[in-house]
Structure 1
Amino acid sequence: IEKHYSFSSQYKWSGVKFSKDVVIKSDSTNSNHRAGNWIFGAPEFVLSKEQLQKFQKYIDRKTAAGTRLLVVAQTNTDITHAAKLPQDLNIICFFEIEETIREHAKATFDYFAKQDVNLIIISGDNPVTVKSIANKAGISQLDKAIDMSQISDDEDYYKLVKEYQMFGRVTPFQKQKLIKALQDNGHVVGMAGDGINDVPAFKIADCSVAIASGSDAAKASADIVLSNNDLSEMIPTVCEGRRIINNIERAAVLFLTKTTYMSLLAFLFIFIDQRFPLFPIQMTLLGSGTIGIPGFFLSLMPNNRRVEKNFLKRTMSTAFPAGVTATIVVLLHQFNVQRISMPIELGSTITLYILLLISLSVLWLACRPFNKYTISIWLFSLSIVLIAIFFFPDLFFLQRIGINGIKYMLVLLGIILILFYSMRKISNKFIFSKINQT
Structure 2
Amino acid sequence: MIPEGLVLLTSVVLAVGVIRLSRHKALVQELYSIETLARVDTLCLDKTGTITEGKMQTDSIVPLGGQNQAEIEKILAALSASLDDGTPTMNAVKEAFPNPPDWKCEKTVPFSSARKWSGACFQHERNYVLGAGEFIMREHFKIIKPQAEKYAKRGQRVLLLAKVKSLSADIVDPSGTIPLALVILSDRIRPNARETLKYFRHQGVNLKVISGDSPATVANIAEKAGLENAVSYVDASTLKTDESIKAAAEKYTVFGRVTPKQKLQLVKAIKSQNHIVAMTGDGVNDVPALKESDCSIAMASGSDAARTVSNIVLLNSDFSSMPRIVDEGRRCINNLQRSATLFLVKAIFSALTAIFFIFVSCNYPFQPIQFTLINAVSIGIPSFFLALEPNCERIHGRFIVNVLKKSLPGAFALTINIALLSAVSMFLGFTDKEISTMAVILTGYTELFVLFQVCRPFNTRHIVLFVSMAFLFVAALIKFPNLFEITPVTLPMLAALIVLMLFATFLMPVLYHFFQKVIFRKSKA
SS in 1 for 2:206: coil
Match of 1:413 among 494, 497, 501: 501
Of 369, 393, 412 in structure 1, the residue corresponding to residue 457 of structure 2 is 369
1:74 and 2:163 matched: yes
Match of 2:183 among 95, 100, 103: 95
- Contact 2:344–2:407 (CA under 8 A) maintained in structure 1: yes
Q: Give the structure 1 partner of residue 348 of structure 2.
A: 260
Residue in 1 that maps onto 2:151? 62
Query: What does 1:96-135 correspond to in 2, within 5 Å?
Result: 96-135=184-223
CA distance in 2, matches of 1:310, 1:129: 39
Note if contact 2:220-2:230 (Cα within 8 Å) is conserved in structure 1.
Answer: no
Which of 242, 246, 270 pairs up with 1:182?
Answer: 270
Instruction: Kindly report which structure 2 residues correspond to 1:416-435, keeping only aligned pairs within 5 A, or say none.
Output: 416-435=504-523
Task: Name 1:14's counterpart in structure 2.
Answer: 118
1:29 counterpart residue number:
none
Matched, 1:5 2:115: no
Alpha carbons 2:119, 2:167 under 8 Å: kept: no
- Specify which of 374, 378, 400 is matched with residue 466 of structure 2: 378
Root mean square deviation of aligned Cα: 2.3
Aligned counterpart in structure 2 of residue 40 of structure 1, from 130, 135, 140: 130
Mapped to 2, the partners of 1:349 and 1:176 lie a distance apart of 63
Query: CA 1:434 to 1:171, structure 2 compared with 1: closer, same or farther past 3 Å?
Result: farther
Structure 1 CA distance for aligned equivalents of residues 519 and 119 of structure 2: 63
Mean Cα deviation higher: 228-237 or 217-226: 217-226
- TM-score normalised according to structure 1 size: 0.89
1:324 to 412, 427, 452: 412
Name the aligned partner's letter for residue 291 of structure 2: K
- Aligned identity (percent) is 36
**Is 2:163–2:177's contact at 8 Å kept on the other side of the alignment?**
yes
- Which whole-Å CA distance do the structure 2 matches of 1:148 and 1:363 have between them? 53
| Alignment pair present for 1:171 and 2:254 | no
Q: 1:233 aligns with which of 306, 315, 321?
A: 321
Residue 314 (structure 1) aligned with residue 402 (structure 2): yes
Give the alignment partner of residue 250 of structure 2, picking from 162, 170, 175: 162
Partner of 2:241: 153
Compare 70-79 and 308-317 and name the one that shifted more.
70-79
Counterpart amino acid of residue 166 in structure 1: V
The reply to whether residue 214 of structure 1 matches residue 302 of structure 2 is yes
Q: Which amino acid aligns with 1:72?
A: L
Q: Which moved more, 1:328-337 or 1:364-373?
A: 328-337
Preserved CA contact (<8 Å) 2:410 2:508:
yes
Would the aligned equivalents of 2:283 and 2:302 in 1 still touch at CA under 8 Å? yes
Q: CA deviation at 1:93?
A: 4.8
Indicate if the aligned counterparts of 2:156 and 2:217 stay in contact, CA closer than 8 A.
Answer: yes
- CA 1:247–1:154: 2 relative to 1, 3 Å: closer
Task: Say whether the 8 Å CA contact 1:211–1:229 is kept in structure 2.
Answer: yes
Whether contact under 8 Å (1:298, 1:377) holds in the other structure is no
Residues 152 and 339 (structure 1), Cα distance of their counterparts in 2 relative to 1, 3 Å cut: same
| 2:484 pairs with 1:396 | yes
Superposed displacement of residue 76, structure 1 = 4.1
Q: Deviations over 1:14-70 (max 9, x none)?
A: 23344xx3xxxxxxxxxxxx54533221122213655652x4454122211211122
Alignment pair present for 1:283 and 2:371:
yes
Partner of 2:91: none
Report the 3-state secondary structure (helix = DSSP H, G, I; strand = E; otherwise coil) of the residue aligned with 1:301.
coil
For the 8 Å contact 1:43–1:52, the answer to whether it is kept is: no
For the 8 Å contact 1:313–1:435, the answer to whether it is kept is no
For 2:389 and 2:464, the matched residues in 1 are separated by 11
In the aligned structure 2, how far is the partner of 1:275 from the partner of 1:6? 81
> CA–CA distance in 2 between the matches of 1:5 and 1:397?
84
* 2:111 alignment partner, SS class: strand
Cα offset for 1:227? 0.8
1:64 aligned partner, one-letter code: K
Q: Is the 8 A contact 2:136 2:172 kept in 1?
A: no
**1:130 alignment partner AA:** V
Is contact 1:199-1:221 (8 Å) kept?
yes
Structure 2 length-normalised TM: 0.75
- 1:253-285 deviation per Cα after TM superposition (whole angstroms, max 9, x unaligned): 111111111111123333444432111111000
> Structure 2 stretches of 5 or more lacking a match?
1-104
Does the CA-based 8 Å contact 1:67-1:129 persist in structure 2? yes
| Paired residues of 1:190 and 1:209 also in contact (CA < 8 A) | yes
Q: Could you tell me how far apart the structure 2 residues matched to 1:183 and 1:260 are?
A: 35
Tell me, in whole angstroms, the C-alpha distance in 1 between the residues paired with 2:374 and 2:382.
12
Aligned-partner SS, 1:158: helix
Q: Report the CA distance between 1:348 and its aligned residue.
A: 0.8
Instruction: Report the alpha carbon displacement of residue 107 of structure 1 after superposing the two structures with TM.
Output: 0.6
> How much has 1:86 moved relative to structure 2?
4.7
